[in-house]
Amino acid sequence: MSFVVRAAHAFDGQRFVPDGLQVQVQGDRIVAVRPARAPLPVGLPVLDRPDATLLPGLIDTHVHLVAGAEPDALSLDAGRSADQREQVVRRSLLQQVRAGVTAVRDLGDNRFAVVDRTVRDDEPSVVGSGPPITSVGGHCAALGGAASGVRALRAAVAERHERGAQTVKLIVSGGAMTAGSDLLLDQFEDADVRVVVDEAHRRGLPVTAHAHSVSAVQTCLTADVDAIEHCTCLTAAGIHTPSEVVDALAARRIWVCPTFGRLPTLPPSPQAIEVMRRTGMTLDARFAQVGRLYAAGVPLTAGSDAGIHPAKPHGVLAYAVGELVRSGLPVDAAVTAATSGAAEACGLATTAGRLRPGMVADLVVVDGDVERDVSALTRIRDVVLRGRLVVVSGAERSALS
């Protein structure tokens, strides 16, 4: 199927394009990108959106597809049958696509349920890590990824590589969502993390590390990980991000995903509120920290940690972008973190994240002008997934789908 999507406002993956764009889709690819005012190709159906913004499909760099946003969702997963788990994964993916997300990086598989399954035509593309590698009894150990000692850590990386995982997720500090785990305590020594990184790099896999405590972030830097999830730099007295940490993250271009994004109508999880009470950390301090990382040149992505509790259902990535703006990022930088930046961080840069001929035709159209009002990202109008219109609003449905 060949068609054109035209909108009065557009974001090309890195910057807003004055006066909008028209994007021509053929099969699963973008074949032409022209100014909105250019003559339309003859004989092709047109999805015309004069009051809307056209963007590359959004990419959520941190999701948990096996988690369905119940309270304690990650622990619930352990009790599910394979069929029940598949239902949760499918529902998670459909919620993501309805929110304009056309690719996700799954960083919390149970065993290899997500890595092993085949993505269906109406589901976002998936980059999967398999179960996070964690310490015995550590954060997320119920997902099946606990390992200890050099030999077991190497074997864990090898297994992920052989089963088709595209990245390695390593839990370096404790986490809030596992009972008995402490964010301020570290689970692995520098040498253990180094073993995982060396084995992964030898096999061509990047390592993204979960780290809340400042010491875990420092361990990640010593061991040369490729990306850090959360990167809260938490201490017993709140957030403390040493300048040398900021400088190293920027100089080595380590991707940081602050895991922002939650429904504004619901409070943070009770676990997150407890961490704030205990350490004195505030949301404003967190926004200020992320703004400081951006100002120093640290590359950021907009992953949401979707699925882990009721305020973080699948499909909240638009709110993560809004929180990056609240942290001080210009709107174009914040949207880049959910498009071309996210694509680069996930190894998808050659196919996704930009409106450019030759790229896979993943597109989203939202009502309003995102450049002036970033909350427009929550108002999804149309979604094109690998060249297929999977969400279409209005009368065009019959003409184009």
Contact residues toward Zn ion (CB under 5 A) are 305
Nearer to Zn ion, 20 or 206 (CB): 206
Q: Residue 48 is which amino acid?
A: D
Nearer to Zn ion, 6 or 139 (CB): 139
Nearer to Zn ion, 227 or 374 (CB): 227
Shortest Å, Cβ 109 to Zn ion: 11
Shortest Å, Cβ 107 to Zn ion: 5
Return d(Cα 6, Cα 96) in angstroms, integer.
23
Nearer to Zn ion, 305 or 371 (CB): 305
Q: CA nearest 141: which of 103, 168, 180, 106? A: 180
Nearer to Zn ion, 107 or 376 (CB): 107
In which residue are the tokens 């100089």 written?
251
Shortest Å, Cβ 328 to Zn ion: 24
Nearer to Zn ion, 305 or 323 (CB): 305
Shortest Å, Cβ 77 to Zn ion: 13
Identify the three-state secondary structure at position 3.
strand
Q: Would you call 348 exposed, middle or buried from its count of C-beta atoms within 10 A (0-12, 13-18, 19+)? A: buried
Where do runs of H (alpha helix) occur along 2-141? 73-77, 82-98, 113-116
Q: How many residues does the chain have?
A: 401
* Residue of minimal Cβ distance to Zn ion: 305
Angle at 60 between CA 388 and CA 123, to 5 degrees: 30
DSSP structure string for 334-370? HHHTTTHHHHHHTT-TTTSSS--TTSB--EEEEES-T
Read off the DSSP letter of residue 29: E
Shortest Å, Cβ 37 to Zn ion: 43
Nearer to Zn ion, 305 or 362 (CB): 305
Nearer to Zn ion, 124 or 261 (CB): 261
Shortest Å, Cβ 305 to Zn ion: 4
Q: CA nearest 90: which of 60, 121, 65, 113? A: 65
Q: CA nearest 319: which of 271, 345, 283? A: 283
Return d(Cα 342, Cα 19) in angstroms, integer.
25
At 47, phi and psi to the nearest 5? -95, 105
Shortest Å, Cβ 399 to Zn ion: 41
Shortest Å, Cβ 79 to Zn ion: 19
Nearer to Zn ion, 12 or 109 (CB): 109
Nearer to Zn ion, 4 or 168 (CB): 168
Shortest Å, Cβ 31 to Zn ion: 37
Q: For residue 36, what is the enclosing H or E element?
A: none
Shortest Å, Cβ 163 to Zn ion: 20
Nearer to Zn ion, 192 or 305 (CB): 305
Identify the three-state secondary structure at position 223.
helix
> What are the CA-CA distances from residue 178 to residues 73, 173, 174, 208, 272 (Å)?
10, 12, 8, 19, 12
DSSP structure string for 123-167? S-EEEE--SPBB-TT-TTGGGS-B--SHHHHHHHHHHHHHHT-SS
Shortest Å, Cβ 55 to Zn ion: 25
